[in-house]
Structure 1
């Protein structure tokens, strides 16, 4: 492969709240695969919870779901080589990657929902096959999504998981210009939800977050009409909606308290979307759900087609996901980056190969 080095850096997660950079061989693309020079790779909260901190179970699986591969399932970059049988993408093309390679033949895969593939051959980037925290990554062409010139590699990395997750949750709610939208939890996915709700034309977008630092970061982005601590959320939402409540509420917190807040803030006949991983859902049923005639939705990321759609929509809306990024690190700074992402980061944390100083 002309111009491609033989060795590269790859970040691994031993499961003890550290990130380790190793020198590894640059892979060669096989049939239907693309070798991609990584332009940006996001750090996801699910990696922190399930891998970085040592809890390796996922989806009720026994044993380790993480197989000691290069971490990172939010990659975007430029194709530098295409293997045999690659049909669509060629060297020089800019792509992001849907982060699950499914079996390709089951009902879910045939509908683009490789996230829900249950075949034993299903493999997620950064979990069961090498991911994007490296200088180069092998991408199955079936998971590659064209990255428009209007969007950066950082934009693409964010679409590859968090923005896809937020999009699907809001898409299920059918957000329109007549809706007041409340976003509970202003981590990276919550920030994505605020931006997408704005793009969808929501009448008002209100953010709920206990962290002062995260509320401050969210307020500076100009995506929310108001942000509030959960303790004050009822009053803030009531004032904004003349006491009615919000027609569409999305919980991105993944916490019992956040989900309870989401249900509480929803108007009669309103819709609630749950997208945050982990935790539990506990609620009084009659007054909170039945008597308010609520509809609850739960979604897990999005489909390949959904990710293509949100990519196109962001261009049409003139919105840039990278606005929610608060910190950028080089691969050599992966341990520092993960410590920040697992702690009190204000917004999204991204790894950018060859970037020596974060900002």
Structure 2
């Protein structure tokens, strides 16, 4: 089969002689249908191998946002059959610790924990070997590309929003309008928020956010007067998807008293006057990392009920043979989600 690897230095190595996987106990093999590219892949693997711990890339097939169809089932699998359409939760934990039992394999501390596309083969290949327990069935109304968008980006946004508990009474500030920020705006609107203001340094991404209906207004990241006008009382809830310290500080500073803030974007160094901006304002700040398999299934059901298709954030699609071009496009920082797709 064909499979793409990320050797660093902004390169992609596409090989066509990789051995097809076979399922062992509790495993399934998927024919890949969609595999989207995440900012963390760009930051910690594609540009150069910076990752340590959970981000330590082990030279495996890239891609941690996979969706596909089950074509082979190993022994001991009872809830999946050949033909099932699934999205893969992108971390495979030990399966027995408290975090794994609650569906938060992302927080598993076992040495056996392995993320798809980081420590075990991921979705940038024709076939994917997955643990059956990591697979969540897609509703019929959702496409494979919808599922791939949920595997990380929309799942991550949904988890943070659950913690913020948005409602129609809230005014939401989103700092960073990349794919996760777009997801946050689209989901928040379905949860009842009617005022959603987004900031980003990229005019292309601000325009895309407006076009998709992910925000009700956008402001350049450095336009303080524009933010004053858009949110004269400040935001009641804020969501940082930028991973940049200046935007993280902006999200906190622009949240009014008794507000709630979710920090989601990876990276960044934050320096802030804790007394002035957090304690005296009585803020609640959530650090939110990915989601759980339970909440992912909940999100898929919500998307089905809402009629919301995550693939709307995908601006560019490439076949696997053009995966290098796909990474270059994603690394431009001016687009929506970039996806590798297979013909159905």
TM-score for the superposition, normalised by structure 1: 0.93
1:163 and 2:157 are equivalent in the alignment: no
Separation of aligned partners in 2, 1:183 and 1:121? 35
Mapped pair 1:31 → 2:25: yes
Q: Tell me the SS of whatever aligns to 1:167.
A: helix
Residue in 1 aligned with 2:307? 318
Q: Provide the residue aligned with 1:41 in structure 2.
A: 35
1:54 matches 2:60: no
List runs of 5+ in structure 1 lacking aligned partners: 1-7
RMSD (Å) for aligned C-alpha atoms: 1.4
Q: Are residue 212 (structure 1) and residue 203 (structure 2) matched? A: yes
Aligned residues: 343
- Which residue of the partner structure matches residue 58 of structure 2? 67
User: 1:145 is paired with a residue of what secondary structure?
Assistant: strand
Q: Secondary structure at the match of 2:2?
A: strand
Separation in 1, partners of 2:336, 2:263: 20
In the alignment, does 2:78 pair up with 1:80? Answer: no
Offset, 1:57: 2.1
CA contact (8 A) 1:331 1:354 kept: no
User: Within the alignment, does 1:350 sit opposite 2:343 as a pair?
Assistant: no
For residues 265-297 of structure 1, the C-alpha deviation after alignment (integer angstroms, 9 at most, x for no partner) is: 101110010001011111112221222111111
Instruction: Report matched runs for 1:2-21 at 5 Å.
Output: 8-21=1-14
In structure 1, which of residues 199, 202, 209 is the aligned counterpart of residue 190 of structure 2? Answer: 199
**Structure 2 gap ranges (5+):** none
TM-score normalised by L of structure 2:
0.96
* 8 Å contact kept, 1:199–1:314: no
**1:48-69 deviations in Å (ceiling 9; x for gaps):** 111111133234x7xx821111
Secondary structure of 1:25's aligned partner: coil
Q: How does 1:141-160 map to 2 (within 5 A)?
A: 141-160=132-151
Deviation readout 1:74-110 (Å, 9 max, x if unpaired) = 0001111111111101011100000011001111111
Following superposition, which runs of at least 4 residues in structure 1 exceed 4 angstroms of deviation? none
Contact 1:159 1:307 in 2 (8 A): yes
Matches of 1:108 and 1:194, distance apart in 2: 28
Q: Distance in 2 between matches of 1:266 and 1:146?
A: 37
Find 1:338's aligned residue among 306, 320, 327. Answer: 327
- Counterparts in 2 of 1:123-138, with a 5 A limit? 123-138=114-129
The 1-side partners of 2:183 and 2:42 are apart by 18
Check conservation: 2:329, 2:335, Cα contact below 8 A: no
